[in-house]
Structure 1
Amino acid sequence: MTALPWRDIDTVLLDMDGTLLDLHYDNHFWLEHLPQRYAELHGISRAMADLELNPLFENNAGQLQWYCLDFWSSELNIPVRELKLETAHLIALRPDADTFLAAIKQAGKRVILITNAHRDSLSLKLERIELAPYFERLISSHDYGYPKESPAFWDALQTDIGFEPSRSLFIDDTLPILRSAGAFGIGHLLAVKHPDSKKGPKNTEEFEALGDYRELLQGL
């Protein structure tokens, strides 16, 4: 990938799941573990669980409640927080993400985490991966009441932290979110080529894809 124009970047906005952390944990939990435990807890077959869950997942994707553990605990009548602990051993940093974070902090960039993850999910991951020291702020979209897919999220972020969009870099593994950021005016956007280590490369369409965090250090 082409070198980033670091002289033109003051603020680095980073997603968490699939960007700094391996998306395998979340994919495994939502696509495998939760449906299996839902079936067990409700005394139904896994096939029946999938028939019940898939329409719910599809109808709520991209909305704030999709990322809310309280919503899913109530909707499914299962203890989602506790179930997430059962697979917490899968939480892992993506290769060299910590090297990148240390380098941009050392370079004096303003570094802010912006995630759609529920605060409980964020806390769970921060207990296992030491991310907090690298960041000025750790922001959940639930703090604002809008997911990152929404233009209202970016307005709220601007009001909250006061940054220059054109002089900001944003890295995320979700294309609709990157498009929302681009529409807001974020000047430098990167997608993630391999958000899930157990799957092949992702088609990042119009966005340049980050493969290796060490690639970003050139010219920093």
Structure 2
Amino acid sequence: MNSTPLYCEKIFPIFPWDNIDTVLLDMDGTLLDKHFDDYFWEQYLPEHYSLLHDISVDEARGQLLARYHKVKDTLDWADLNFWSRELGMDLQELKLRINHLIGVHPYVIEFLEYCLKNRKKLYLITNAHSSTLSIKLEKTALGPWFDRIVCAEEVGLAKEDPLFWDRLEQQLAFDRTRTLLVDDTEKVLFAAQTHGLAYLLYVARPSSRQRVQYSCNFPSIEYFKELLPR
């Protein structure tokens, strides 16, 4: 869940591309349509949990949402092994059953092509668990575009923690004054801002099924075509 207010005026992105060497990209909601994740956690998993415990889907959803909230902004939240143990269900298998819902946002490939053409370092930086990452990379074939892919579990902290960005900079050796981060979660952008990342961009349309919500604090885009030359 983002802390974005219900309505904010759009802050248009104006970035000096010649001053940017490195582009850090979130995965879920930024490159990929978050509808898959929203549907899985809020509908599909509650349906199976309700059958397992012989309760209504609404009751199952309420119980699960409360459990999700307890580990929000931690590595456990995205850890399929953690949830499989906690819930007594094989979450990786359940995700595979609906992997047809995994989709790349419009204009993502064009933006990746533009970055590579302009010799930018490209890194995929995600809180997603490695098993979830494998499912999504196999479905989308996005992996080869990146110089490196980093899961938060490698760093040992979730992206919402400012210390995550200290550790990530040590791992990747990027110049924070010449780096752009694109993410659909304001708390992540605030953490990166605390670390001193120079260029921060918010994705206002993480899910194709939800309405656009601009950030009041960061420049926003709906689609990556807004960053491409006209």
Instruction: Identify whether the pair has TM-score above 0.5, normalized to the shorter chain.
Output: yes
Residue equivalent to 1:175: 186
- In the other structure, the counterpart of 1:191 is 202
Calculate percent identity across the aligned residue pairs. Answer: 41
Do the aligned residues in 2 keep the contact of 1:114 with 1:140 (CA within 8 Å)? Answer: yes
Q: Using the alignment, how far apart are the partners of 1:218 and 1:185 within structure 2?
A: 27
Q: What residue in structure 2 maps to residue 44 of structure 1?
A: 55
Equivalent residue runs for 1:108-123 within 5 Å: 108-123=119-134
Instruction: Name the stretch that deviates more: 39-48 or 151-160.
Output: 39-48
Return the letter of the residue paired with 2:206: P
Matches within 5 A, 1:4-15: 4-15=15-26
- The Cα of 1:79 is off from its aligned counterpart by 0.7
Counterpart of 1:33 in structure 2 is 44
Deviations 1:125-164 (A, max 9, x none): 0011011111000100011110001122111111111011
Aligned to 1:89: 100
- The equivalences for 1:133-148 within 5 A come to 133-148=144-159
Q: Partner of 1:159: helix, strand, or coil?
A: helix
Asked if the contact 2:108/2:224 (under 8 Å) is kept, the reply is yes
The two structures have a TM-score, normalised by structure 1, of: 0.96
Aligned mates of 2:179, 2:170 — CA distance in 1: 15
* Aligned length in residues: 219
1:215 aligned partner: 226
Q: Does 1:72 align with 2:75?
A: no
1:58 paired residue among 50, 69, 72: 69
For residues 2 and 154 of structure 1, what CA distance do their matches in structure 2 show? 22
Q: Aligned with 1:120: secondary structure?
A: helix
Query: What stretches of structure 2 of length at least 5 have no aligned partner?
Result: 1-11
2:168 corresponds to 1:153: no
- RMSD (Å), alpha carbons: 1.2
Partners of 1:4 and 1:218 within 8 A in 2: no
